[in-house]
Amino acid sequence: MTKNRVRPTGPIGSDGVINQEPKKRQELADYMSGLNLGDDRDRNRGFLIQCLHKAQELFGYLPESVQLFVADRLGLHLSEVYGVISFYSYFTTVPVGRYRINVCMGTACFVRGADRVLEEFKRHLGIDDGETSENGKFSLGGLRCVGACSLAPVVMVNDKVYGNVAPDKVPDIINDCQ
Amino acid sequence: MIKMTINDRQVQVDASATVLQAARKIGIDIPTLCHLELDCFEVEHRMGSCRVCVVEIEGRPNLAPACCTPVLEGMVVRTNTMRAINARRTILDLLLSDHPKDCLTCEKNGNCNLQELAGELGLHRILYSGEMSNYPVDLANESIVRDLNKCIMCRRCETACNTMQTVGILSGVRRGFEAVVAPSEERPLSDTKCVFCGQCVAACPVGALSAMNRTYDVWRALNDPDKTVVVQTAPAVRVAVGEEFGLEPGTIATGKLVAALRHLGFDKVFDTDFAADLTIMEETTELIGRLKKSENLPILTSCCPGWVKFFEHQFPGLIHIPSTAKSPQQMFGAVAKSYYAEKIGVQPENLVVVSVMPCLAKKYEASREEFSRNGVRDVDIVISTRELASMCKEAGVVFEHLEDEDFDRPLGESSGAGVIFGASGGVLEAALRTTADWLAGEDLSNLDFVEVRGMKGIRDATVTVAGMELKVAISSGLGNARRLLESIQKGEAEYHAIEIMACPGGCLNGGGQPYIHGDTKILEKRRQAIYREDANKPVRKSHLNPDIQKLYQEFLGEPGSPRAHELLHTKYNPRNNF
């Protein structure tokens, strides 16, 4: 469950993603101005996670320039924002594939062989846990319990849930991603 | 007040106290590690994250961390039960299981709270072994080394950086075993708005944050037959360096310091206080100029490189108001490599200027591009008070037994005004002494502006100089500087002159000073020593320093002259605020 440790190159925020997508930038700005923000940074901090959710929904990931935009409007330090992003496995600072394949590694799934399922995905896709395929189609990861233990082991592809996944079902799941 | 029992002894404490404070009140020590309190700066770091301070409280099933457990009426606490002591040992054992344990070669050897604790708890072997963290060491800047493999996640550095200094570059990132304290995207400090004040280094209980060590470069210069090596020592060094050799805090060790530097082999031993006097000549000229035209006020001091980088990042809109005068360190370098080099007939590139500073930001300052001419840096190597002490120990210099010696001339002659630069309020007081004399046109006998002295984070005063009422303010600690500047931006306060120092209390509490381990009484002793040193000086005003007068006559002309501007003034660059 190691997150990618890809450190951005160039000065802080120089990825420029926030300005390459003016519509999304505007939508994020509108969303944030609809919140009840004030001058009190301790209070604003309470809005951080929902802003990051919105930003990731819009941009697909949270590059530094987007983090800066959010930090700025909330009056928070960039480091605080990154601290939260790096804490939650849901948030990502690198682009993810169109199909986000997540193997549940919760206790129930794990004892029923989720690790072997994950290995099988790695072998078929040629990428490691936390990586994205070169064509940008797939990313692979493990996640904690999704609350469907009776179906263990469980795999999620974007919002779709597959239950009772044996390693030999992996090629079918990949073929489903069209 | 409430009554409680600790180890069968009654204690009465304030209802707002913690169990730890109550225990210490009656002389019972409970070991701590993540806990840090700097009472005189109102800094409280009570995370309770390390659990080393756990105690038993009657009626509670779990052990409680003493540092963040509030006291209650009738509470019965036991600090030294088998259960508590064993728990502490296990906690320490687990901390050490992911610690490099290279104490013998660690920069913090002898100054590490973790090492000390292992000794105190009588840990004879480490039971657990397993995965070890493996982070690259951040060596990309001049001032601070970050080796996160040694980090114990106490997060004291975060409190120092974010709460006290409001620089805000550090945060706890990632989770579980991978959790660590780092800037955003785990970038090196050099990519961030870090001001290199070194307060995080002072706060770090272990070797995760330490100073970049340059002693080897000094030894190499001293042993190079082609180089003339001169040294300057900052005002705050002399009142703190003795602590490294077991002298009482607050001992004025100026004479021993000079002798020690000669023993180490420096060709000339000079004083940054000389350059502090020079700074006052230039800064006061600027202040009086602005007062007469009543423009560009308030003037802000610019001696502190941490503060300079702070306003470049965080207050770029105010970049025109700080004095353009260089800091004393850089004025010294510029004068040494021009006036002095010429005087002794040595090429600037063969003259090595070493600084001994209470500060880690000075290391960064000396590397700034604008402080080099023709590829030759004005100040070549900067070492901290602690590094100097370690050089003395390496060389077998028995500091505490040295006979006092005097600085060399001309760059070692200084006034009392130069000395007080080491304490918060000192630069302003030094400037007021000269301003008062110059405006009145006479040598005034009243030169103690005691109203600007003190440790409080923000102070202000109205002083009368030559019939003119000057409103002045002093702040130390960058969080206080931010509050002061914001009140000026909002129009809530108006001043003529403001002194700002990055470290709380001023340079005497710099990031390069001997560690105080939370004992702020040491700082007060250093502060009093600085004012004692000032009071003992025959000359106590910068403009009456005879060698400063000579420097202007022989070389610079008038204060504020084109030559003075070329050598002694600088400019600032707005920087990104993230």
B114: closest CA among B200, B206, B199?
B206
Which helix (H) or strand (E) segment holds residue B468: the answer is: strand B468-476
CB atoms within 10 A of CB B489: 12
- What pLDDT shows up at residue B458? 96
B37, B107, B158, B365: which one is catalytic?
B365
Distance from CA of B183 to the nearest CA of A (A): 5
**Is B578 within 8 Å of A78 when comparing Cβ atoms?**
yes
User: B365 catalytic, yes or no?
Assistant: yes
Residue A36 has pLDDT above 50, yes or no: yes
- What pLDDT shows up at residue B493? 87
- What pLDDT shows up at residue B18? 96
- What pLDDT shows up at residue B557? 96
In this structure, are residues B284 and B435 in contact, taking their beta carbons and an 8 Å threshold?
Answer: yes
Interval A131-151 mean pLDDT? 89
A136 and A165 assigned to the same domain:
yes
User: B558 catalytic, yes or no?
Assistant: no
Q: How do residues B97-146 score in pLDDT, each as one tens digit?
A: 999 999 999 999 999 999 999 999 988 888 898 899 999 999 999 999 99
A71: closest CA among A8, A34, A124, A18?
A18
Long-range contacts of the stretch A41-49 (C-beta < 8 A, 24+): A41/A74, A41/A75, A41/A76, A44/A74, A44/A75, A44/A76, A45/A74, A45/A76, A45/A80, A47/A74, A48/A74, A48/A76, A48/A80, A48/A81, A48/A84, A49/A84, A49/A88
Nearest chain A residue (CA) to B578:
A78
Interval A131-147 mean pLDDT? 88
pLDDT range class, residue A10, cuts 50, 70, 90: confident
Interval B442-449 mean pLDDT? 92
A129 occurs within a structural domain: yes
Q: How do residues B282-315 score in pLDDT, each as one tens digit?
A: 999 999 999 999 999 999 999 999 999 999 999 9
B89: closest CA among B59, B56, B127, B130?
B127
Task: Specify burial of residue B294 (Cβ count, 10 A radius: 0-12, 13-18, 19+).
Answer: exposed
A103 and A83 assigned to the same domain:
no
Q: Which of A34, A62, A87 is the last residue of a domain?
A: A87
**What residues of B are in contact with residue A67 (Cβ under 8 Å)?**
184
**Is A67 within 8 Å of B184 when comparing Cβ atoms?**
yes
A159 occurs within a structural domain: yes
A2 occurs within a structural domain: no
* Residues with Cβ within 8 Å of residue B479, at least 6 apart in sequence: B163, B164, B165, B166, B457
A112 and A72 assigned to the same domain:
no
- What pLDDT shows up at residue B78? 97
B58, B120, B248, B370: which one is catalytic?
B370
Task: Specify burial of residue A121 (Cβ count, 10 A radius: 0-12, 13-18, 19+).
Answer: buried
Interval B524-537 mean pLDDT? 97
Q: Which of A45, A77, A94, A143 to mutate to test the interface with B (most CBs of B within 10 A)?
A: A77
User: B143 catalytic, yes or no?
Assistant: no
A118 occurs within a structural domain: yes
Residues facing residue B469 across a β-bridge: B464
- What pLDDT shows up at residue B39? 85
pLDDT range class, residue B577, cuts 50, 70, 90: confident
Distance from CA of A123 to the nearest CA of B (A): 26
Q: Does A67 touch chain B (CB under 8 A)?
A: yes
- What pLDDT shows up at residue A3? 46
B40: closest CA among B554, B538, B518?
B518
pLDDT range class, residue A1, cuts 50, 70, 90: very low
Q: Does A168 touch chain B (CB under 8 A)?
A: no
Interval B153-169 mean pLDDT? 95
Q: What would the two tokens of residue B10 be?
A: 């009654």
Interval B183-202 mean pLDDT? 95
Q: Which amino acid is at B465?
A: V
**What residues of B are in contact with residue A5 (Cβ under 8 Å)?**
186
Q: How do residues B25-38 score in pLDDT, each as one tens digit?
A: 999 999 999 999 99
**B97-211 and B216-568: same fold?**
no
**Looking at the 3D structure of chain A, how many domains does it have?**
2
**Is B173 within 8 Å of A64 when comparing Cβ atoms?**
no
A28 and A75 assigned to the same domain:
yes
Q: What would the two tokens of residue B292 be?
A: 């007469």
Peptide bond between residue B70 and the one before it cis (omega within 30 degrees of 0): no
Dist. CA B166–CA B484, nearest whole Å:
13
CATH of B2-80, one of 3.60.15.10, 3.30.70.260, 3.30.1600.10, 3.10.20.740: 3.10.20.740
- What pLDDT shows up at residue A6? 66
A12 occurs within a structural domain: no
**What residues of A are in contact with residue B576 (Cβ under 8 Å)?**
11-13
Q: What would the two tokens of residue A20 be?
A: 């390459």
Task: Write the CATH number of the domain with boundaries B216-568.
Answer: 3.40.50.1780
In chain B, what are the domain boundaries? 2-80, 97-211, 216-568
Residue A142 has pLDDT above 90, yes or no: no
User: Residue B315: helix, strand or coil by DSSP?
Assistant: coil
Distance from CA of A51 to the nearest CA of B (A): 17
Q: Which residue has the higher pLDDT, B170 or A142?
A: B170
Q: How far is CA B107 from CA A78, B223, B238, in A?
A: 30, 24, 22
Interval B334-348 mean pLDDT? 97
Residue B537 has pLDDT above 60, yes or no: yes
Interval A72-92 mean pLDDT? 92
User: Over pLDDT 90: what percentage of chain B?
Assistant: 93
Chain mean pLDDT for chain B: 96
Nearest to B174 among A71, A77, A86 (CB): A86
Q: How far is CA B108 from CA B112, B393, B517, in A?
A: 5, 15, 12
Q: What would the two tokens of residue B167 be?
A: 């620089």
Dist. CA B316–CA B298, nearest whole Å:
16
A113 and A169 assigned to the same domain:
yes
Q: Which of B171, B191, B192 to mutate to test the interface with A (most CBs of A within 10 A)?
A: B171
* Residues with Cβ within 8 Å of residue B562, at least 6 apart in sequence: none
Q: Which residue has the higher pLDDT, B567 or A90?
A: B567
Q: How many residues comprise chain B?
A: 578
User: B370 catalytic, yes or no?
Assistant: yes
Residue A130 has pLDDT above 90, yes or no: no
Sheet with B268-271, strands from edge to edge, namely B268-271, B228-233, B351-357, B381-384
Q: What would the two tokens of residue B105 be?
A: 């070669």
User: Over pLDDT 70: what percentage of chain B?
Assistant: 100
Interval B448-457 mean pLDDT? 95
A1 occurs within a structural domain: no
- What pLDDT shows up at residue A129? 87
Q: Which of A45, A63, A87 is the last residue of a domain?
A: A87
CATH of B97-211, one of 3.40.50.300, 3.30.70.20, 3.30.300.20, 3.40.30.10: 3.30.70.20
Q: Which amino acid is at B77?
A: V
Interval A25-30 mean pLDDT? 97
Here the CATH number for the domain that contains residue A104 is: 3.40.30.10
CA angle B504, B506, B511 (to 5 degrees): 75
Long-range contacts of the stretch B82-90 (C-beta < 8 A, 24+): B83/B56, B84/B54, B84/B55, B84/B56, B85/B121, B87/B51, B87/B54, B87/B63, B88/B31, B88/B52, B88/B53, B88/B54, B88/B121, B89/B121, B89/B123
The answer to whether the Cα torsion of B543, B456, B476, B139 is positive or negative is positive
B76: closest CA among B54, B57, B55, B53?
B57
Q: How do residues B57-76 score in pLDDT, each as one tens digit?
A: 999 999 999 999 999 999 99
User: B524 catalytic, yes or no?
Assistant: no
**Is A71 within 8 Å of B578 when comparing Cβ atoms?**
yes
**What residues of B are in contact with residue A13 (Cβ under 8 Å)?**
576, 578
Distance from CA of B192 to the nearest CA of A (A): 8
Q: Does A14 touch chain B (CB under 8 A)?
A: no
A122 and A57 assigned to the same domain:
no
Domain that holds residue A78: 17-87
Which helix (H) or strand (E) segment holds residue B529: the answer is: helix B521-536
Q: How do residues B400-428 score in pLDDT, each as one tens digit?
A: 999 999 999 999 999 999 999 999 999 99
User: B151 catalytic, yes or no?
Assistant: no
Q: Does A79 touch chain B (CB under 8 A)?
A: yes
Q: Which of A77, A79, A105 to mutate to test the interface with B (most CBs of B within 10 A)?
A: A79
Q: How do residues B197-233 score in pLDDT, each as one tens digit?
A: 999 999 999 999 999 999 999 999 999 999 999 999 9
A92 occurs within a structural domain: no
**What residues of B are in contact with residue A77 (Cβ under 8 Å)?**
162, 168-169, 171, 578
Residues facing residue B3 across a β-bridge: B12
In this structure, are residues A16 and A68 in contact, taking their beta carbons and an 8 Å threshold?
Answer: no
A6 occurs within a structural domain: no
- What pLDDT shows up at residue B123? 87
**What residues of B are in contact with residue A80 (Cβ under 8 Å)?**
162, 168, 171
Q: How far is CA B267 from the centre of its chain?
A: 27
A65 and A116 assigned to the same domain:
no
Residues facing residue B11 across a β-bridge: B4
